[in-house]
Chain A
């Protein structure tokens, strides 16, 4: 079953030089107990997408269209107050990149756990404290009875991320949004944190949205992956399928640029050019100026491509449309049309 359904979601920032649509008509589902990765390079809109679920966007950003349905509620239509009382920290939690900056330095970790628990669960402070100790134990903090009264500065980065995870999962949310949760950590700690997330997701029956630029992280824990480019979700595929048979030229180029996939001596492949300025996105497919497989006029001058279903992969590319790409021989299955043009 789909736990979260995102349909035609757009997020727009107002900037000094006009509006910028950082997430453009994105559609995807997250299933029960699934770890869903969202990958893409900096500025592709993946963090904006993650922030939009709980409406944690910067002041100048707002959801400009579409819906985010969780448990029968449209999160995109809820007020800040409603989200704070009913959803944030309770049904959906979010963790961020820098664990050293994620906790308030002037309160103990226990106080920060307890305030979250008492806010959402019907528990007094004493019961909440006991639960907090259990949670710290669950995430692998040694001597939780003593450490609970320590301030954040006395923990290491990896321990802090464990504590942040404990806080995020303290009220048994159905969904955890993790925005680059391991980027700020040492490589050895990264693997531990990923293992912890995977383990807790399973035992708490929590689905996870893992936002990352690191395909290694994706390979390690995700069940399915969405690849974002310039505000579009250009490809969604089960993990194995994405690595074995990437469909979108951007995904193919992205995989080619991973060092491990080449011999040590070979030069890394780089994708030529730069991501487009989203204030004035290119016509046609947004990737066309950098694409080495442009297959027809539509790529450069048409609309943003529709999403095609190619053997279980959702891909937003004209290569899989026999009307555009004469060389294409498979069936053309359009699963989503780009919404009305803006």
Chain B
């Protein structure tokens, strides 16, 4: 199989995936009890008013009709209009997506730079201080919930020491330095989890690889420890780590609900949460579609990277 064939095959797979997601999210959103009209009206909701608004929003029509109409819009690039602020969903999402992406793009390199070398060092010096330190960080990172570490960081560095802003978001286009200052705490609390997950994976994958027979054969043919570990073991053990990194990368964008809530960052996670609470159907559907697309793209990039490193993937299992 050639590169472009593999790529094309994977991109074509996007179509059924996205279609499946669109049906699923549409059903879930519409089947959950509670009407957007009730949420909008709040205490003044009378059956007549609710019915009037539902009619206005087109919710009185049969669901398949609503779905097809929505899908037709989506295919033409129209994701609908948000119920809550009357803006086109596409422009709301575009705005929020960049904020979330900024968070991810800052968090991921930080996590990578700490996790990978630490994982390698821990594997190369098993039962050493480095190894135990990495294990400690791993346990802490995985077991402390984000909301706790975020609040803790906020309390110490923003409230007590006053070094950093407590919360909020500043666009890098407005003021780069301020933007970064606002990102330090959320990035740190998000990175903590990613570091733990990626480092442990790196360590265990490397230790698995070192137990392989080809490592013994490399040793038997006189390769230095450095060549064996960094030239051979690392490349092999990095393959499963890439998959985990891809998952983390995907998860960071959509799963940062808690972080975005705590630090009042207007990203995708927070948008989705609010849209669900307000039964803002078009916004929920649009966000979920966007996140699904994001995951599909990240997965594709991950798989291409894996295929690049592992020659067995491209030729299929023969």
Q: Name A residues whose Cβ lies closer than 8 Å to a Cβ of B.
A: 54, 56, 80-81, 83-85, 87-90, 93-98, 101-107, 115-116, 119-120, 151, 153-154, 164, 167-168
**Closest chain A residue, CB of each to CB of B231:** A115
In the complex, the answer to whether A56 meets B223 with C-beta atoms within 8 Å is no
B315 CB-CB contact with A under 8 Å: yes
Q: List 27 A-B contacts (CB under 8 A).
A: A54-B219, A56-B219, A84-B224, A85-B224, A88-B219, A88-B221, A88-B222, A90-B222, A93-B220, A94-B217, A94-B220, A95-B217, A96-B216, A102-B213, A102-B217, A104-B232, A104-B236, A105-B311, A106-B232, A106-B236, A116-B222, A119-B222, A151-B311, A153-B315, A153-B318, A154-B315, A168-B221
In the complex, the answer to whether A120 meets B311 with C-beta atoms within 8 Å is no
In the complex, the answer to whether B216 meets A89 with C-beta atoms within 8 Å is no
- Point out the residues of chain A lying under 8 angstroms from B310, CB to CB: 105-106
In the complex, the answer to whether B318 meets A154 with C-beta atoms within 8 Å is yes
Which of B214, B220, B221, B236 has the most chain A CB atoms inside 10 A of its CB?
Answer: B221
Interface of B: prevailing SS: helix
In the complex, the answer to whether A93 meets B221 with C-beta atoms within 8 Å is yes
- Point out the residues of chain A lying under 8 angstroms from B236, CB to CB: 104-106
Complex interface residues of chain B between 187 and 242 (CB less than 8 A to chain A)? 212-214, 216-225, 227, 232, 235-236, 239
Which of A87, A104, A119, A154 has the most chain B CB atoms inside 10 A of its CB?
Answer: A104
**A154→B318 CA distance, assembly (Å):** 8
B312 CB-CB contact with A under 8 Å: yes
Interface string of B305-318 (1 = CB under 8 A from A): 00001111001001
In the complex, the answer to whether A89 meets B220 with C-beta atoms within 8 Å is yes
Complex interface residues of chain B between 144 and 200 (CB less than 8 A to chain A)? none
Which of B214, B218, B311 has the most chain A CB atoms inside 10 A of its CB?
Answer: B214
Which of A87, A106, A154 meets B222, CB within 8 Å? A87
- Point out the residues of chain A lying under 8 angstroms from B223, CB to CB: 84, 89, 115-116, 119
**A58→B235 CA distance, assembly (Å):** 23
Q: How far is the CB of A136 from chain B (nearest CB, A)?
A: 16
In the complex, the answer to whether A116 meets B312 with C-beta atoms within 8 Å is no
Q: How far is the CB of A50 from chain B (nearest CB, A)?
A: 10
In the complex, the answer to whether B222 meets A89 with C-beta atoms within 8 Å is yes
Q: How far is the CB of A227 from chain B (nearest CB, A)?
A: 25
**A85→B310 CA distance, assembly (Å):** 29
In the complex, the answer to whether A164 meets B217 with C-beta atoms within 8 Å is yes
**A120→B221 CA distance, assembly (Å):** 9
- Known A105-B312, A153-B311, A154-B315: A96·B213 in contact at CB below 8 Å: yes
- Point out the residues of chain B lying under 8 angstroms from A104, CB to CB: 214, 218, 232, 236
**A89→B222 CA distance, assembly (Å):** 5
A sample of 4 more A-B contacts (CB under 8 A), given A106-B239, A153-B315, is A80-B225, A89-B220, A90-B222, A120-B222
**A167→B214 CA distance, assembly (Å):** 12
- Point out the residues of chain B lying under 8 angstroms from A102, CB to CB: 213-214, 217
Q: How far is the CB of B225 from chain A (nearest CB, A)?
A: 8
**Closest chain B residue, CB of each to CB of A117:** B221
Instruction: Please provide the 8 A-B residue pairs with the shortest distance between their CB atoms, ordered closest to farther.
Output: A89-B222, A89-B221, A88-B222, A101-B213, A94-B220, A151-B311, A102-B217, A104-B214
In the complex, the answer to whether B235 meets A56 with C-beta atoms within 8 Å is no
In the complex, the answer to whether B311 meets A106 with C-beta atoms within 8 Å is yes
- Point out the residues of chain A lying under 8 angstroms from B227, CB to CB: 115
**A90→B224 CA distance, assembly (Å):** 13
- Point out the residues of chain B lying under 8 angstroms from A119, CB to CB: 221-223
- Known A151-B312, A153-B311, A154-B318: A103·B217 in contact at CB below 8 Å: yes
Q: How far is the CB of B123 from chain A (nearest CB, A)?
A: 14
- Point out the residues of chain A lying under 8 angstroms from B221, CB to CB: 88-89, 93, 116, 119, 167-168
- Point out the residues of chain B lying under 8 angstroms from A56, CB to CB: 216, 219-220
**Closest chain B residue, CB of each to CB of A115:** B223
Q: How far is the CB of B241 from chain A (nearest CB, A)?
A: 14
- Point out the residues of chain B lying under 8 angstroms from A96, CB to CB: 213, 216-217, 220
**A119→B227 CA distance, assembly (Å):** 11
**A196→B94 CA distance, assembly (Å):** 67
- Point out the residues of chain A lying under 8 angstroms from B217, CB to CB: 94-96, 102-103, 164, 167
**A106→B218 CA distance, assembly (Å):** 13
**A90→B213 CA distance, assembly (Å):** 19
**A115→B223 CA distance, assembly (Å):** 8
- Point out the residues of chain A lying under 8 angstroms from B311, CB to CB: 105-106, 151, 153
Q: How far is the CB of A84 from chain B (nearest CB, A)?
A: 5
- Point out the residues of chain A lying under 8 angstroms from B225, CB to CB: 80, 84
**A2→B311 CA distance, assembly (Å):** 45
Which of A54, A98, A106, A107 meets B213, CB within 8 Å? A98
**A81→B226 CA distance, assembly (Å):** 11
**A102→B315 CA distance, assembly (Å):** 20
Q: How far is the CB of A161 from chain B (nearest CB, A)?
A: 11
In the complex, the answer to whether A103 meets B214 with C-beta atoms within 8 Å is yes
- Point out the residues of chain B lying under 8 angstroms from A84, CB to CB: 219, 222-225
**A307→B275 CA distance, assembly (Å):** 87
In the complex, the answer to whether B212 meets A101 with C-beta atoms within 8 Å is yes
**A95→B216 CA distance, assembly (Å):** 9
Q: How far is the CB of A32 from chain B (nearest CB, A)?
A: 22
**Closest chain B residue, CB of each to CB of A167:** B221
- Point out the residues of chain B lying under 8 angstroms from A154, CB to CB: 315, 318
Which of A95, A97, A107 has the most chain B CB atoms inside 10 A of its CB?
Answer: A107
Complex interface residues of chain B between 3 and 19 (CB less than 8 A to chain A)? none
- Point out the residues of chain B lying under 8 angstroms from A105, CB to CB: 214, 236, 310-312
- Point out the residues of chain A lying under 8 angstroms from B235, CB to CB: 106
**A153→B235 CA distance, assembly (Å):** 16
**A104→B239 CA distance, assembly (Å):** 13
**A54→B216 CA distance, assembly (Å):** 11
Q: How far is the CB of A8 from chain B (nearest CB, A)?
A: 24
Which of A83, A85, A89, A98 has the most chain B CB atoms inside 10 A of its CB?
Answer: A89
**A104→B237 CA distance, assembly (Å):** 11
Q: How far is the CB of A211 from chain B (nearest CB, A)?
A: 13
